[in-house]
Each structure stands twice: as C-alpha cells, then as structure tokens.
C-alpha cells in the first residue's frame, strides 16, 4: 500500500517494491505536476513558500484572491492582480515585530472604468510630490514635481504678485442662517451661529489698521487706531459718509472740512453755493417742521455757542440767562478790547440816508416785511452788511448794528428838541 506526499498528495513508491511499481508512480506524479504547473495547466489550490534569498519569477499573471505573503523577492514580467473583499497590497514594518503594515488598496467602486498610474522613472528630491503630468486613455503618468506656487504666495506681504486665492475665503464656526452673501463683499466672509467678529491686535505702542487702496494709492482710505495716543482715525481722499436707515448720508465730512448733518444731507450740486471751502457745517431737517439743529446744555444759565477768531480769542456768543428765560446774542463789547473811541456826531445826517422799505421776498409773496436793502446800508453802516452787491453770494444785514447810529441820531434829536423847548419857554417868559 503506497504512502502519499503531504502537500500535493502524490503516491510514494513502496520501499522494496518492484521496478514497474516505481516507474508507474513516478510517471503518474510527473503527469500530475505537469498538470498543475505547466503554462496551460489548470492548477490546484497549493501553498507556495519562497525561501529567504530566493526569487519567484512569474511570466504571466499572478492573481491573489486570498492573502499572499512574500518574504523574499517576487519578479514579475506581467501583471499582479489582487481580488476579493480585502484587495490590499500590504507592506509590513521592516524592523521590530513586523506586526504592523501600510497598504495600498483600490476603491470600492472604480466608477465602471479601469485606469493605471505609471510611476516615474527617476527618483525625486526632498520636498517634491507626485503629480499626474499626462493622461493617455486610461493610463496616467506620475512624475515628481516641485510646488510652483507656495501657499505663502497667496498671502500679501510686501507685494501682490501671484497672490491670488482665486476664490473668496469663508471662515465659518457655525451657521448664521444667511442664505447668501453680497457679491461685492465676498472675498472674506466670517460666519458664526452666535456673535461673530474680526479682531486686529497690535502692540501697545503700535497702530492697528484697515487700509483701502487701488492702482494709484495703496491706502487712499483707512481706519486706524494708534494705541499709545488712544486715537481712532478715519482717513479718506474724499468725503466720509455715515448712513443710517439704508439710503442717503446722515452725516458727511467733506474733503474741505465741511460737516453735513441730516437725512440725505450729502452735499449735492444745488447746495454747493452754500458749502464752499470756508463752510464748516451744514444741517438739514429729517422732515418738514423739525428743528435743523438743537443745542442742549445741562445748566440753564451760560453759553450755548461761542465764536472764536483765528487767534483763539472770543468775538461773540449765544447765551442764556434769567434761569433759561432770556437768550442773548452777544458781540464782543468789553471796553478792554476797544480803543480810539469818539462820539457819533452826525447820527441824524446818516440816519436820513437810510431808506426803510415795506416789501416781500420773492419766494414768499404773501408776507410783507419792514427792512432795508443791504447794499444801500453798506455805505452808511458797513459793519451791518455781509457780502458784496451783485456778488456770488446774496448779501445779508444785521439790523442790530444800526442801533448805535439810531441811538446817536435820537440823542441829537433830543438835544435839538430840548434846545427848542428852552427857546419856546424863554419866548413865553417861562423861568
């Protein structure tokens, strides 16, 4: 009775058997091996171990459906196929217990297509990466490549060349509920489900800034805070406008220094005649009947508005007294400010030159008023008139400036009256 080999289950010749028995077993075993290992053979499920330092050469296709372990060298002139649910090419650690591995694995679904990636023919250098450089059909060529645009090139330092993300940057810590963002302000979006904000942190003696620039000026406008001076500054090449309610400028600081306050009060062409470079402020009511300007002070008595000259000295004020009941429009009149004073001696003659009229303004034909024409008063009491006759701006008059002349004329008239009364008394014999 023959015995059999462990792995291939081949019949072993019986020791002491006849020659024919030996020859028959050998021929049968050889045929069995040929059926397993020849190029056209069907093969069977066998275990194959390649010894250390040995090479397994495969000229056709090596298909592994289970787990294949190679501790030596495998030389292939064709294709290795890994199939089955595991579908991994594993590389075990080189030292230690060789218990851990890294693996390459195909995707669960290749999308109905076959493709191959060809490794480069040369070794790259440190810092390079594998890049798909060409694609021919289902075969892609991998090559080592350097980073042509480092990430720091996208962030501006001293220049702006090649610093372009190509898309906006969205920093999101939570969902705000907004479905979109303004197309004119989408380069940087900060979003959160609660409070959101942007912090600019500078050293305690430095400046924090947001700059607005263009091709002609890299900081034509800016918002800055100077820490050592605790100054918060808005800078603009033109007007600085503040808008509340969504339309019109409620507060404008023009490039000439004029401040415009009021709903929709951004200075327009029809207002330019009253907003020259010498003007400081323009106030407009938000609706008809409302005050254009309200000034409130905590104490009833005192100065509401002071008028100063270029040297800083006061030249007038608007004051309140008598516990808030009397408003005084005061021009500087302290004797210590005046000199070369003389009495007005021709008051009646100058008063007679004034021409008081009854008239109405063209824009209010139903309202008759008493007054003067400014240019006629200008030659008699020049300090009472503002502007020039037929000038760019309409003339104005401060009729209160006529009071000193009227007083002098009245005093002259009283003196004459008293003199006439004395003469009449003498004629009547009145002592």
pLDDT, tens digit, for every residue of 222-252?
999 999 999 999 999 888 888 887 777 788 8
Residue 75, pLDDT > 80, answer no
**Whole-structure pTM value:** 0.48
The mean pLDDT value of the chain amounts to: 83
* 117, two tokens: 């990636």
Per-residue pLDDT, averaged over 384-392, amounts to: 93
At which residue do the structure tokens 């009854």 appear? 358
Q: What pLDDT digit, counting tens, does each position of 11-34 carry?
A: 777 766 676 776 777 777 777 776
- Report how far residue 28's alpha carbon sits from residue 253's, in angstroms, rounded to the nearest whole number: 109
Q: Which residues of 325-357 are buried (b: 16+ CB within 10 A; e: fewer)?
A: eeeeeeeeeeeeeeeeeeeeeebeebbeebeee
- Report how far residue 215's alpha carbon sits from residue 213's, in angstroms, rounded to the nearest whole number: 7
* 92, two tokens: 């075990």
pLDDT given at position 10: 73
Give the list of residues 6+ apart from residue 214 with CB closer than 8 angstroms, or none. Answer: 220
Least confident of 212-226, 241-255, 339-353: 241-255
Q: Where are the domains of the chain?
A: 1-42, 55-106, 170-277, 295-341, 342-431
* 420, two tokens: 């006439």
* 71, two tokens: 């501790």
Higher pLDDT, 291 or 402: 402
pLDDT given at position 48: 63
Nearest alpha carbon to residue 67 among 52, 54, 48, 53: 48
Instruction: Output the CA torsion sign for 153, 156, 158, 160.
Output: positive
């Amino acid at each position: 009775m023959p015995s059999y080999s462990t792995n291939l289950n081949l019949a072993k010749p019986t020791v002491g058997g006849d020659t024919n028995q030996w020859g028959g077993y050998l021929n049968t075993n050889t045929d069995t091996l040929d059926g397993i290992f020849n190029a056209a053979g069907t093969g069977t499920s066998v275990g194959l171990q390649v010894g250390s330092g040995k090479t397994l050469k495969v000229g056709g296709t090596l298909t592994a459906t289970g787990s294949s372990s190679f501790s030596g060298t495998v030389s292939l002139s064709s294709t290795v196929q890994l199939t089955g649910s595991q579908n991994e090419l594993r590389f075990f650690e080189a030292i230690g217990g060789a218990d851990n591995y890294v693996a390459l694995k195909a995707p669960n679904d290749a999308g109905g297509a076959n493709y191959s990636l060809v490794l480069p023919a040369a070794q790259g250098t440190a810092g390079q990466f594998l890049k798909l450089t060409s694609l021919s059909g289902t075969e892609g060529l991998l090559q080592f490549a350097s980073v042509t645009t480092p990430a720091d090139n996208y962030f501006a330092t001293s220049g702006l060349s090649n610093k372009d993300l190509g898309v906006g940057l969205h920093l999101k810590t939570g969902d705000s509920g907004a479905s979109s963002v303004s197309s004119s302000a989408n380069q940087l979006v900060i979003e959160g489900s609660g409070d959101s904000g942007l912090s600019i942190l500078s050293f305690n003696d430095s400046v924090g800034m947001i700059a607005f620039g263009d091709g002609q000026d890299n900081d034509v406008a800016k918002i800055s805070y100077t820490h050592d001076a605790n100054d918060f500054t808005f800078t603009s090449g033109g007007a600085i406008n503040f808008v509340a309610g969504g339309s019109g400028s409620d507060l404008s600081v023009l490039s000439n220094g004029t401040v415009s306050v009021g709903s929709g009060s951004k200075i327009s062409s029809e207002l330019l005649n009253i907003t020259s470079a010498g003007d400081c402020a323009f106030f407009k009511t938000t609706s008809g009947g409302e005050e254009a300007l309200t000034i409130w002070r905590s104490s009833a008595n005192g100065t509401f508005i002071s008028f100063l000259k270029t040297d800083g000295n006061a030249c007038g004020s608007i004051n309140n007294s008598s516990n808030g009941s009397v408003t005084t429009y005061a021009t500087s009149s302290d004797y210590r400010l005046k000199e070369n004073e003389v009495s007005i001696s021709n008051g009646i003659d100058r008063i007679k030159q004034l021409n008081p009229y009854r008239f109405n303004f063209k824009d209010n034909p139903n309202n008759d008023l008493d007054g003067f024409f400014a240019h006629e008063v200008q030659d008699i009491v020049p300090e009472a008139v503002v502007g020039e006759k037929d000038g760019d701006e309409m003339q104005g008059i401060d009729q209160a400036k006529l009071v000193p002349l009227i007083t002098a004329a009245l005093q002259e008239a009283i003196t004459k009256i008293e003199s006439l009364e004395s003469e009449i008394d003498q004629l009547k014999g009145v002592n």
